[in-house]
Structure 1
Amino acid sequence: MNKLLTTVFAFAVASLATIASSQDIVGDAKAGHAKVDMCLGCHSIVGYQASFPEVYKVPKISGQGAKYIISALGAYKKGERKHPTMRGIADSLSDQDMADVAAYYSANGVVAGAALPPKPTVEPSPQVAALLTKGACVSCHGDNFSKPIDPSYPKIAGQHADYLYVALKSYKTDNNALVGRSNAVMGGVAKQFSNAELKALAGYVHSLDSELKVVPQSRFR
C-alpha cells in the first residue's frame, strides 16, 4: 500500500470513529426544512455564483450525503475550512441543527428508484485518466464518483466544475487566515497537481451523471 493510500485508510478510520461518536444525533428532514432559510439564497438559485475567494458557482447540495454535509459544516465551524460566510452560518448551528439540515438536503429532490449507472458513461481522456489514477480518486469517492467509501466523504460526480476547481486549489493553500482547507488526505492529493491539472480533473468530474442538483425554492414558504 503506497503512502497516499495508507493516509486515506487512516483518515477513513478516524472519520468512522467520529461518526460513531455522534450517532446518537439523528437528523430530521422535516425539522431541517424549517432551518434552511439561510441556505436558500445561495444553494437554491440555479447558476448562483459566489465571489469569494473568486467567482464560482456555489455547490449543488441537494442529493448530497448527509454525513458529508455534517462534516463540511463542522469543518467550517472549527475553521478547518476557511470561508467567512460559511463560518458565520456554521457557528449559528447546533449539532442537532446540522443533522437536521443535512437530513433535509440529502433527501431534497431525490427521485425514488432513480439510480446512476455503476460506471461513468463519459470516458476520461488519457491525460485525465492518468491524473485520476495518480490521485487515487476512486479509492475515496467510489464508483461513478458518487459512492464514497466513507459517508463523510462527498459525492462529486456532476458537481459544478468551477466550484470543484476552487475547492481543490484551496487544499493547496497553507497559512492563510481567510482561504484554505485543512484535510490531510485532500491536501496530499491536491498538492501533487498543477492548477491546470486540477482544472482538467474538475472538468471531467463535472461531466458525469449526477445525483446532485439545485432545487429552486419559492421565496415564500
Structure 2
Amino acid sequence: MNNLSPTIVRTVVAAATLLAASAAVHAEGSVEAGKQKAEMCIGCHGIPGYQNSFPEVHKVPKISGQSDKFIVSALTAYKKGDRKHPTMRGIAGSLSEQDMADLAAFYASHTDKTAAETASAPSDVVKALLEKGACASCHGANFSKPIDPSYPKLGGQHADYLFVAMKAYTVEGNAMVGRSNGIMGAVAKQFNPNEMRALAQYLSAQETELKTVPQSRFK
C-alpha cells in the first residue's frame, strides 16, 4: 500500500475482515419502505446542487448509488457520534436498524451504471498524494469499487464535500465537528488543506456511479 505505514495497512486489512464478517447480521432493507421513509432525507439529498452551510458552505453529498452497507455504516456512525454533524446526528438518532436498512436499500437501488475500471491519469502532484494516502487500496482503482462495501465510493462525489469530509477526520475534541475513524484519521492528517483540495478536485472529476435523484416534491 505504497507509503502508508505498516500499522495502518494492518488496520485496513483487519477492519475489512471484521466488517465482512459482521455484514450478515444487518437487517434486510426494503426499497419500498425506504422510499416512504426518505421523506426526511429529500429536503437535502433530493435537490441537485443543494448546499449545506455547516461547518462551511458545501454541497450535500450524492448518496444515490452508494452501497447499502456504506449508507448503514454512515448512519450508524452519526447515531453513535463518530460522525458529529448536528443535523445528521439528530436524524440518525431517530432511526432504528430497520429504518437504516430500508433507507440504504432505497438509495442503493438508484444505481444504473458502472464506473470505468480505472480512474483517469492524475497529475504527478496528485499521483504522489494518492500514493501517500494509499487511497486506491481501500477505495479501488476507479475510486468507485472499495475493498469493502461499507466504505464509500468517492469517484464523482462533490469536491467541496470531499474536502470538508477529509478535514473532519483531522478534527479532535470538538463536540460539533469531526469524524472518528482510526484509518481515515491517520490518512487525512498527512495532508494540508491545499493537498486535500487537490485530491478532492481529482476524485470529483472521475466517472461516477453516484448521483442526486430528485424526488417528486422537488422535481
TM-score range, shorter chain: over 0.9
Matches of 1:98 and 1:56, distance apart in 2: 24
Match for residue 121 of structure 2?
Answer: 123
Contact 2:144 2:155 in 1 (8 A): yes
Matches of 1:126 and 1:220, distance apart in 2: 42
Tell me how far 1:62 sits from its aligned partner.
Answer: 0.4
Which amino acid is 2:115 matched to? Answer: L
Matched, 1:3 2:7: yes
Match for residue 137 of structure 1?
Answer: 135
Contact 2:117 2:142 in 1 (8 A): yes
Matches of 2:54 and 2:175, distance apart in 1: 14
Which amino acid is 2:197 matched to? Answer: K
Contact 2:47 2:218 in 1 (8 A): no
Calculate percent identity across the aligned residue pairs.
60
Which amino acid is 1:14 matched to? Answer: L
Matches of 1:132 and 1:139, distance apart in 2: 10
CA RMSD of aligned residues (A): 1.4
Matches of 1:86 and 1:196, distance apart in 2: 27
Matches of 2:125 and 2:159, distance apart in 1: 17
Match for residue 106 of structure 1?
Answer: 108
Tell me how far 1:139 sits from its aligned partner.
Answer: 0.6
| Residues 37-56 of structure 1 aligned to structure 2 (within 5 Å) | 37-56=39-58
Matched, 1:83 2:82: no
Matches of 1:115 and 1:59, distance apart in 2: 19
Normalising by structure 1, report the TM-score.
Answer: 0.94
Contact 2:50 2:59 in 1 (8 A): yes
Matched, 1:214 2:216: no
Match for residue 168 of structure 1?
Answer: 166
Q: Aligned with 2:216: secondary structure? A: coil
Tell me the matched-pair count: 215
Q: Aligned with 2:171: secondary structure? A: coil
Normalising by structure 2, report the TM-score.
Answer: 0.95
Which of 62, 66, 69 pairs up with 2:68? 66
Matches of 2:201 and 2:106, distance apart in 1: 28
Per-residue CA deviation, residues 97-118 of structure 1 (Å, 9 max, x unaligned), is 000000000012x32xx32221
Matches of 2:196 and 2:23, distance apart in 1: 29
Match for residue 175 of structure 2?
Answer: 177
Per-residue CA deviation, residues 79-126 of structure 1 (Å, 9 max, x unaligned), is 000011001110111000000000000012x32xx3222111x21100
Matched, 1:153 2:151: yes
Match for residue 20 of structure 2?
Answer: 16
Tell me how far 1:220 sits from its aligned partner.
Answer: 7.8
Matches of 2:212 and 2:93, distance apart in 1: 24
Contact 2:72 2:101 in 1 (8 A): yes
Matches of 2:152 and 2:117, distance apart in 1: 17
Q: Which runs of 5+ in 2 are unaligned?
A: none
